[in-house]
Amino acid sequence: MEADRIYNFNPGPATLPLPVLKEAQAEFLNFRGSGESILEISHRAKEYAAMQDEAKADIKTLMGLGDDYEVLFMTGGASTQFALLPLNFATKEKKGAYVLSGSFAEKAFKEADHLGVGVVAASSKDGGYKHIPQQDELQIPKDAAYVHLCYNNTIYGTEYHYIPETNGVPLFADMSSDMLSRPLDFKSFDFIYAGVQKNLGPAGVTLVVAKKSFLEKSPEALPTMFKYETFLKKDSLYNTPPAFNIYMVGKVAHWILTEGGLPEMAKRNKKKADLLYGVIDASDGFYRGHAEPASRSFMNVTFRLPSEELEKKFVGEALAEGLGGVKGHRSVGGMRASIYNAMTYEGVEKLANFMQKFQKANA
């Protein structure tokens, strides 16, 4: 840890691997011997093309996906995908079926609903989104265009620990806040997307990994930039891409690979999450976790304290100890520690120790 940096528990933009930041710093003025910065170079340059190809290949290697899947780099964040999915894939006859598990899942549904092409497949809103709807709660119309999930609910701190059986209906997932955090059978998904600023890079690029068959043909009537077909056929270079952001995502993907890939990330992330949930569970109710234990997220640990006054004090004293960004989202209140891939065990250990110390002093 650098002496002048804090442990950053922000939900997104979020902490990035220190080796990646240092590498980017070292290469900042001269990208791959081009004599130009990545911020200045043409997206048609051969150095740029090689970088983008490597980033795509590393992402597919990590996910264990072959030629039937394609990686796209888009813009507008996950929020734009919320609108593009129903525009590209749903109709009034074949609707998108949405599992509502939190705020972002709701926002995704809202876009489809607004177009009259969305239907709710399940919801855990009653009770405050404390759990992930389980298989037996899902009501998926047989003729749905897709089932849409939000795989990790960044705000509520819940995460899927199973892949739903959809009986042939294509499976779409917003993985903005847990993309590349653990191995999954990614082949079970037809369309995955992520705003990268949670676990994979700086805000400004949206990662899409989808079956090519879903990207090849988009509705004629859509504007060019709203068609996945455009991004597939032009290798995400129809318009000027956010080059620096893609470069950073490539670096993070490569870092994950060299650290041991998704199995290693999963091991580390579970160890970090177990430590914090352990402190919560052993606190005699001083800390109250928001998520039901079976739906707990490995990425965002949400919890309340006995009073809002103590919560305020917690945030302030944590920051004084170099632990930043622990304030929860206003819709849940309390605390949220986001412990993405780049958060070190050392940082989480510091937070766990602080939590125990704070409880002793204030219980």
Ligand X SMILES: *Cc1c(COP(=O)(O)O)cnc(C)c1O
154 binds ligand X (CB under 6 A): yes
From 31, 73, 98, 104, residue interacting with ligand X (rule: CB under 6 A): 104
Evaluated on CA atoms 296, 302, 304, 310, the torsion sign reads positive
**How many CB atoms lie under 10 A from the CB of residue 141?**
14
Q: Which of 202, 141, 193, 199 is nearest to 169 (CA)?
A: 141
From 34, 79, 344, 362, residue interacting with ligand X (rule: CB under 6 A): 79
198 binds ligand X (CB under 6 A): yes
Beta bridge partners of 192: 173, 209
Indicate the residue among 150 and 180 with the shorter CB distance to ligand X: 150
Q: Tokens for 287, please give them.
A: 């800390």
Q: Which of 103, 122, 106 is nearest to 114 (CA)?
A: 106
Q: Which of 132, 130, 136 is nearest to 165 (CA)?
A: 136
242 binds ligand X (CB under 6 A): no
Indicate the residue among 121 and 352 with the shorter CB distance to ligand X: 121
Indicate the residue among 279 and 332 with the shorter CB distance to ligand X: 332
Indicate the residue among 11 and 250 with the shorter CB distance to ligand X: 11
- 158-187 footprint of ligand X as x/- string (CB under 6 A): ----------------x-xx----------
**Least distance in angstroms from the C-beta of 11 to ligand X:** 7
Q: Tokens for 291, please give them.
A: 């998520």
From 9, 15, 59, 77, residue interacting with ligand X (rule: CB under 6 A): 77
Q: Which stretch binds ligand X (CB under 6 A): 17-25, 27-35, 77-85, 246-254?
A: 77-85
Q: Name the DSSP letter for residue 213.
A: H
Q: Tokens for 212, please give them.
A: 């090519």
Give the helix ranges, DSSP H, for 64-145. Answer: 77-89, 103-114
Q: Which of 168, 157, 162, 13 is nearest to 149 (CA)?
A: 162
Q: Which stretch binds ligand X (CB under 6 A): 25-33, 61-69, 74-82, 322-330?
A: 74-82
Applying CB under 6 A, the residues found at the interface with ligand X are: 12, 77-79, 104, 150, 154, 174, 176-177, 195, 198
